[in-house]
Amino acid sequence: MSNSQNVIPIIVSTAPPSRPPDDQEDALYEVRKKIYPRAVTGWFANWRWLLVFATQLVYYGTPWLTWNDRQAVLFDLTARKFYIFGLVFWPQDFIYLTVLLLICAFSLFLFTAVAGRLWCGYACPQTVYTEMFLWIERKIEGDRPKRIKLDQSPLSMGKFGKKGLKHGLWIALSLWTGFTLVAYFVPARELFSQALSFGVAPWETFWIFFYGFATYGNAGWMREQVCKYMCPYARFQGAMFDRDTLVITYDYTRGEPRGSRSKSTDYKAKGLGDCIDCDICVQVCPTGIDIRHGQQYECIGCAACIDGCNQVMDKMNYPRGLIRYSTLNALEKHADWREMIARVFRPRVLIYTGILWIIIIAAGVTLWNRVPVRADVIRDRTTLAREVSGGELENVYRLQVMNTQEHVQRFSVGVRGIDGLKVYGVQQPLEIGPAASKMFAIPLRIDMDAAPKGITRIEFDITAVGADGRPAPDVFSLHEKSSFYKP
Amino acid sequence: MLRLTISILWPSFIAAGIGLGIIFTLVDPMELVVLGEHVRASRSAIYSLGFFVLWAITAMAAAMSAFLLTGKHPGDKTLGGEGD
């Protein structure tokens, strides 16, 4: 061992130790300034509204769909069964939930790599509910300038009425959102009639208000702060970005030097760029940033500034796209959209796509080949091997069967492994009801002399029985290992 | 203060949700034995209470982390100070 390993280098700092300010929170967290996003119309705003309608139609509508005389999508936690249209999932199917989450995660990675924060800008519940809450706010209080004025004005009957109405509608929408969430776990129709007669069970009531309060708080009050301070995706999405990812960009070389001017001015002669410094892009921004400062982590990619700027460009008779979706590479090289599309097929995107397809295909195949019945055999340890009349030895097994289908299943139980071993006293075929789980006691008997001493491996065969009473192994045929014991 | 509260309660909320999902997928609350007694409550009550117990524990962990990171410590320049 050399001596050098024992030497710990110590660097003496000569700088005076810095003291954090007394109230650290003041230093760490800037005070939030309320943001009054201005209404915006245009191509991207329409897309966002389309997604608001699509996602909320699914969210609010799904609990009311019926399938096989029951709620089509019901996560019945109290019965520990999940119904999703024709499928019934048991806790044993946990793997499918994991796979679903994996698919969601890789889809998100893929979308992010190609087009940045598409999820944030158009489909995230935080964006969607904020959009809905803002719409209510705008209908009651007016657009940005009116809202700012209203907030600055002293409390009056008019202001009180407007604010009261706004919050009333917000709360109503929030409670309906909370109700809908709970309706995924408790049958919606029952819950609705209970709600009408104020007879909702305490925990269900609690969760309706809990989720309602979260909606009201997040979409009404917190808004962009959720994205800035609470969202983990907002923090790590940068890892999926590269120089070919579509982001919302301000064309600096075209826009600068910015400055106000009248429409008739020959601005180029005055040395001005295309940006007229109208501040619309800042006013429409739901997170209150100025896109002209370049890429910022607060930008949720909602493209409101693109819509706003394009309208201004139209009014000025300048070409659109001073603020536009572009990539850092394209912006630098002045590449057109063809080159941008060509760069979509880069290794990162191909790898994400490949992994995603592998998971989707694997999940599809396993779901397609899913056995309609699950079985589990355990030797009953409470009744050990015993000798019964006629010189026979008996072991008793507990057969747990779960039906993942919504019709009755019939099946027979047989056993292999020892010659002469047979199922005794069980009325075959056995039957299990729709989406049920049932325990059967299966005694096995064998001639005392034919039974090998000690523990012998055996295998149960659980085979479907068709309507004609004959075995139908193509429906399902399960093999469960167990052991037979002779003392 | 609000942001500090949120950054403690929110990640712990997510962690508690994941924990609850895993625990009660594997364990049927009806088979729970607490201090030698079977729990006499509905599944939804156990799920809900279980969630809050988990949330309290995860929030405690998050609060301790927050305290260790922001609490004053002589010569600490890693966080809260000007260092990165």
pLDDT band at residue A280 under the 50/70/90 scheme: very high
> Which of A23, A24, A74 is the best residue to mutate to test the B interface, defined by the most B CB atoms within 10 Å of its own CB?
A24
At A354 the pLDDT is 95
Closest partner CB to B25 (pick from A24, A94, A204): A94
Cβ–Cβ of A206/B48 closer than 8 Å?
Answer: yes
Burial (CB < 10 A; 0-12, 13-18, 19+), residue B37, is: exposed
Q: Which residues in chain B are closer than 8 Å to A94, comparing Cβ atoms?
A: 25
pLDDT score of A8 more than 60: no
Q: Which residues in chain A are closer than 8 Å to B25, comparing Cβ atoms?
A: 91, 94
Question: Looking at A68-72, A93-97, A239-243, B74-78, which range is the least confident one?
Answer: B74-78
Instruction: Note whether B48 contacts A: Cβ–Cβ < 8 A.
Output: yes
Identify the residue with better confidence: A476 or A11: A476
What region does A391 belong to: left with phi over 0, alpha with psi -120 to 50, or beta? left
Instruction: Note whether A31 contacts B: Cβ–Cβ < 8 A.
Output: no
> CA nearest B29 in A: which residue?
A78
User: Which DSSP symbol is given to B29?
Assistant: G
At B81 the pLDDT is 42
At B5 the pLDDT is 86
At A230 the pLDDT is 86
Distance CA A232, CA A392 (A): 65
Q: Contact, A287 vs A303, CB < 8 A?
A: no
Distance CA A35, CA A1 (A): 64
pLDDT tens profile A10-49: 444 444 444 444 444 444 455 677 889 998 999 999 999 9
Identify the residue with better confidence: A4 or A89: A89
At B71 the pLDDT is 60
At A28 the pLDDT is 47
Length of chain B: 84
pLDDT tens profile A169-215: 999 999 999 999 999 999 999 999 999 999 999 999 999 999 999 99
Closest partner CB to B43 (pick from A20, A77, A229): A77
Q: Which residues in chain A are closer than 8 Å to B11, comparing Cβ atoms?
A: 232
Q: Which residues in chain B are closer than 8 Å to A29, comparing Cβ atoms?
A: 3-4
Which domains can be identified in chain A, with CATH numbers?
A: 373-486 (2.60.40.10)
What average pLDDT does this structure show over A444-457?
A: 88
Instruction: Note whether A57 contacts B: Cβ–Cβ < 8 A.
Output: no
pLDDT band at residue A382 under the 50/70/90 scheme: confident
Q: Which residues in chain B are closer than 8 Å to A230, comparing Cβ atoms?
A: 6-7, 10
Distance of residue B73 Cα from the nearest chain A Cα, in angstroms: 10
